[in-house]
Amino acid sequence: MSPDPNLLLQLTQTQMPFGKYKGTLLCDLPISYLEWFEQKGFPEGKLGIQLQTIYEIKLNGLEYLLVPLRKSRYTR
């Protein structure tokens, strides 16, 4: 499977579909929740890839990469 070029944009637009943080944008999920998934296992499919990606972004202090994408969401 090739990387999705829209993945980072999706992280700023997609809401968590279930659980304690249902309705929260994936990019706004707390790292503690993502760490829980890391320990228990990420969901299968696209959501799992998105959660793994935002986990790695937050773990490595790369959240600044999402700032321009978040801004573009409000300028449309």
Alpha helix (H) residue ranges in 1-76: 7-11, 31-40, 45-59, 67-74
Residue 71 has a pLDDT of 75
Q: Which residues pair with 15 in a beta bridge?
A: 25
Question: In DSSP terms, which residues pair with 63 in a beta bridge?
Answer: none
For residue 11, the tally of other CB atoms under 10 A from its CB is 22
Q: Cα(21)–Cα(1) distance, rounded to whole angstroms?
A: 28
Confidence at residue 72, expressed as pLDDT on a 0 to 100 scale: 67
pLDDT tens string 1-47: 556 768 999 999 999 999 999 999 999 999 999 999 999 999 999 99
Q: What is the pLDDT of residue 69?
A: 86
